[in-house]
Structure 1
Amino acid sequence: MKYVVILGDGMADYPVDAFDGKTILEVADKPTIDYMAQHGEMGMVKTVQDGMKPGSDVANLSVMGYDTKKCYSGRSPLEAASIGVPLKDNDVTFRCNLVTLSDEENYEDKTMLDYSAGEITTEEAAELIKAVAKELDTDMIKFYPGISYRHLTVWEGGSTNVELTPPHDISDKKITDHLPKGDGADTLLEMMKKSEKILREHPVNKKRVAEGKNPATSIWVWGEGTKPQLDNFEEKFGLKGSVISAVDLIKGIAKCAGMNSIDVEGATGNCDTNWEGKAQAALDAILNGSDFVYVHMEAPDEMGHQGAPEKKKFAVETIDKKVVKFLKDELEKRGIDYRMMILPDHPTPIKLKTHVSDPVPYIIYDSTNETDKNANLTYTEENGKKTGIYIEEGYTLMNRFLEK
């Protein structure tokens, strides 16, 4: 038996005005996913434990079978693992976004216009982070480039006793109430302010402005954490696992858990990602000996943050057409028995443009054991509730999926 998880990041939603009060999952054309819902198990799962923030870090760890109350040490250390930054025991890491702020003279008066600096390319961003590092690196604080707008800051001897806000939580809002607070806040804020001066006149930004794109006008520091300690996935579940994602966070989880992290050319974490390449990489992993493959797709989440319902609908439909259907057809054509679990990590509602902790609908489909108990139900949030199945501790869903 092979096991495949299809993780549509942020796929669940609230009723959307643009779709006459229906959710994205209710309006999206997703025949293969619906078939699996109708012929498998569908229910609801709480992926974010009480008292924890509904980040993709916490939620994906939960889906992967990890009790975040016991193992979670922050988001950015996982990203550090992905990009190969070794951490010392006294290092504190931070996610460092490139963002677009409004142009008021006083930093505190600015508004968060774009948490992704217009989905800046990895190549452009690397130049900008290199410029920031040249001016702001110290013996204790270092900057490292990541993917697109997502980068890393490491502070040796820093503190996690700090209050920081994810930039995607404050889209279109004034930043004044969301600036760093707590231990080391003055240092972090000073870096953010200095970065604005460094980035303002950089040739990369001048070119982006000339092309009508959002410039990266500042760094934004958040997601503090310390060196992670995750149980090895294969030792924990007895399966050789592979992870396919365009996002450093998910790649970092894979590496910390001893799983194979597979890079796919053209995978961007957005609607222009290489969908076919990710699906083919998942199939290849299975054919080359992986027992378990986790395919993470960021696009629905990004579109939720952008408040773009049509694009989010497109993302869900493309997951169905180019990933789920492809894998179903190819595995069955080869006579490979498999179980597939399909779910989001958390909702990213269009109207809120940020994550929420609400339970999400999941599907577990077994190619060797089709049922008809959900014959009249498509895969939606409300239909997940109708089945009466509710998994309170999200990290236990993995054992249910693996029949352990």
Structure 2
Amino acid sequence: MKYIVILGDGMADRPIEALGNETPLAYAKTPMMDELAAKGEIGMVHTVPDGMSPGSDTANLSVLGYNPRKYYSGRSPLEALSIGVPMKDTDIALRCNLVTLSEEEDRYEDRTMIDHSSSEISTEDAAVLLEAVRKELETDEFKFYVGTSYRHLLIWDKGEVVSLAQPHDILEQKITDKLPENKALYEMMKKSYDILVNHPINIERKKQGLHPANSCWFWGAGTKPSLSSFEEKTGKKGAMISAVDLLKGIAVGSSMKVITVDGANGGLHTNYEGKAQAAVDVLTDKGYDFVYVHLEAPDEMGHQGSVERKVQAIENLDARIIRPIVEGLRANGEDFRMVILPDHPTPICIRTHSSDSVPYLLYDSTKEQANTWKYNEAEAEKTDNFVAEGYTLIDHLFEV
């Protein structure tokens, strides 16, 4: 038996008037997910423990079977594992987003957060910009490391876990009261704007109609993580397929295999087919029992507030990842159990994460059922299936 989790990041939502008061998941054309739902089980699962922030960090730990209350030490330290940054016990890791701030104001403090991803800047462009920042601002106390796209890392030697605003939570808001209270972090963010605002890459981006990556933004502070081995915990040899450093870091920390797919970039135009083929290959040819396939695009489209593109991302997930994985495993004669779900909602109406429960779909190729439901939030809520502790869902997947 093979086991698969397919995670549509931020895929869940709330009813939208423009979609006839349906959610993007209900509105999207998802024949593969609906077929599996009719032959399987659907329900709701609460992935984010009450009182914890509804981030992809806590939620994905939960889906992988790690209780966030026990294992979570911050988002950025998990990303540090992915990048290969050796953290000391006294180090603090912080996410360093390359963001877009408004440029009309005279003072940095008066600017507005326009885009947390700088039009999903490429890793190549971001690396050049971060190098310009590093040359001016890096010290023995603060070290910069390149990640993926707009997502980068700052390691603070003998630092402290400080409260910092998440940039995707303050879109279209003034940053005046969202800036770090720590003077050193604040000064680096302010100086980064002066370094980046007129950088040739940003001048060219504006000519192309793209948002400039004109400031660093620090958030997600945390300490060195300590995860137990996924294989020792579950008895399953696991692999991770994701373009996002956070998920790769969770995999590294739990001793799972990280599979890199060329062209996978965490955006809407990622290499869907490459991810699907990699999942089939690792389960059929590499001797792995479990694969976790993560798609970032629905979450990014939710943050952008784009209903149309979020629907497109969900349809791409259905047609270009789920269908080829199912068909590939069937063609190879593999028995499999698959869970499909979001980690958390990213509702279009608020453009950030919420802690609402999310719908899950569990399909077993050896025990097909005969139901009439489709896979979406409303239908999942109608069932009596509810998993109150998200980290126990994986135990349900591994039941045979």
Scaled by the length of structure 1, what TM-score is found?
A: 0.97
**Which residue of structure 1 lines up, in the alignment, with residue 394 of structure 2?**
398
State the AA in 1 paired with 2:297: A
* SS of equivalent to 2:177: helix
- The one-letter code sitting in structure 1 at the alignment partner of 2:195 is I
Partners of 1:267 and 1:17 lie apart in 2 by 32
Please state whether the residue corresponding to 1:336 is helix, strand or coil.
Answer: coil
Partner of 1:94: 94
Q: What is the match of residue 198 of structure 1?
A: 195
Match of 2:323 in 1: 325
Work out the CA distance in 2 between the residues paired with 1:360 and 1:210: 41
Give the deviation of 1:403 after TM superposition: 1.1
- Residue 300 (structure 1) aligns with: 298
Cα deviation code 1:159-203 (max 9, x no counterpart) = 01x21111001111111121113xxx1111100000001101211
Q: C-alpha offsets along residues 221-273 of structure 1, whole Å, 9 cap, x if unaligned?
A: 00001100001000000010000000000000000000001000000111100
- State the alpha-carbon separation in 2 of the partners of residues 260 and 363 from structure 1: 25
**What aligned pairs does 1:330-349 form with structure 2 within 5 A after superposition?**
330-349=328-347
Amino acid at match of 1:304: G
Which ranges of 4 or more aligned residues in structure 1 deviate by more than 3 Å? none
Query: Which residue number in structure 1 is paired with residue 48 of structure 2?
Result: 48
Report the Cα offset of residue 101 of structure 1: 0.4
- Looking at structure 2, the residues matched to 226 and 345 of structure 1 have their Cα atoms a distance apart, in angstroms, of 23
CA distance in 1, matches of 2:374, 2:245: 32
Matching residue of 1:58: 58
In 1, the alpha carbon distance for the partners of 2:108 and 2:5 equals 43
In the superposition, the TM-score normalised over structure 2's length comes to 0.98
Q: Which residue of 2 aligns with 1:245?
A: 242
* Mapping for residues 177-196 of structure 1, pairs under 5 Å: 177-181=177-181, 185-196=182-193
Amino acid in structure 2 at the alignment position of 1:324: I
Q: Distance in 1 between matches of 2:116 and 2:316?
A: 24
1:382 aligns with 2:371: no
Aligned-residue offset at 1:382:
1.2
Per the alignment, in what secondary structure is the counterpart of residue 315 of structure 2? Answer: helix
Match of 1:105 in 2: 106
Aligned to 2:229: 232
Partner of 2:117: 116
Equivalent position amino acid for 1:108 in 2: E
In structure 2, the partner of 1:31 is 31
Structure 1 partner of 2:80? 80
For 1:214 and 1:227, the matched residues in 2 are separated by 33
Name 1:168's counterpart in structure 2.
168
Local SS of the residue matching 1:163? coil
Q: How many residues align?
A: 398
Q: Deviations over 1:291-348 (max 9, x none)?
A: 0000000000000000011111111111111111111111111110000100000000
How far apart, in 2, do the equivalents of 1:239 and 1:284 lie? 17
Shift of the alpha carbon at 1:17?
A: 2.3
Listed one character per residue, the Cα deviations across residues 53-112 of structure 1 (whole Å, up to 9, x for unaligned) are 000000000000000101100000010000111000000000000000011111111110
Question: Is the partner of 1:290 in helix, strand or coil?
Answer: coil
Q: Which amino acid aligns with 2:245?
A: D
- For structure 1, the 5+ residue unaligned runs are none
What's the counterpart of residue 271 of structure 1? 268
Question: Equivalent residue for 2:255?
Answer: 258
Partner SS, residue 280 of structure 2: helix
Amino acid at match of 2:364: D
Letter in 2 for 1:311: R
Give the secondary structure class of the aligned counterpart of 1:178: coil
The one-letter code matched in structure 2 to 1:48 is V
1:208 alignment partner in structure 2? 205
5+ residue gaps in structure 2? Answer: none
Q: For residues 10-43 of structure 1, what are the alpha-carbon distances to aligned partners after superposition, in whole Å with 9 as ceiling and x for unaligned?
A: 0000011221211011111101101111111111
